[in-house]
Amino acid sequence: MPKLSGVIETALYVDDLERARAFYKEVLGLVPLTSDQRFLAFDVGGRSVLLLFRRGSTLEPVHLPGGTIPPHDGSGPLHMAFAIEAGELPGWESRLREHNVVIEGRTDWPRGGHSVYFRDPDNHLLELVTPGVWAIY
């Protein structure tokens, strides 16, 4: 059987692209890769891409010179986690407080990892996780 080697893109759907751009760039420090009226793409650690689509803007196929992207969309608050180094957790908690981002929860995992949970402006639950959360991380 062929093998999967990772997750390259993760997508969230947002109501206001400019508000989302500000949050992910200014609060989380992500670097924009590309954008148009439908979406924003951010580099996450040089290993993956976070796609933010304006909700409802991808309900029709997108035809590109190299092929077609089928329709997709999402609704409701979703969840995703960002990997961080254990020693950076206190700095991240300070940064979130500086930007008036409420930390909704903290978890200490049996394997030794730690999680901090907070929301983006579209109510998606975001998590910062240190090594020791999963057997593979």
For the record, the structure tokens of 108 come out as: 């200490």
For the record, the structure tokens of 18 come out as: 């400019």
Count the domains in the chain. 2
82 within a domain of the structure (yes/no): yes
Q: Average the pLDDT over 12-37 and give the result.
A: 97
CATH of the domain at 17: 3.30.720.120
Same domain membership, residue 82 and residue 125: yes
Q: Average the pLDDT over 104-115 and give the result.
A: 98
Confidence band of 108 (pLDDT split at 50, 70, 90): very high
Against a cut of 0.85, is the pTM above it?
Answer: yes
68 within a domain of the structure (yes/no): no
129 within a domain of the structure (yes/no): yes
Same domain membership, residue 90 and residue 121: yes
pLDDT for 70: 97
65 within a domain of the structure (yes/no): no
Q: Please report which helix (H) or strand (E) contains residue 115, including its range.
A: strand 114-119
Q: Alpha carbon 44 to chain centroid distance? A: 8
136 within a domain of the structure (yes/no): yes
- Where in the sequence is the domain holding 45, given as residue range(s)? 1-57
What integer best gives the mean pLDDT of the chain?
97
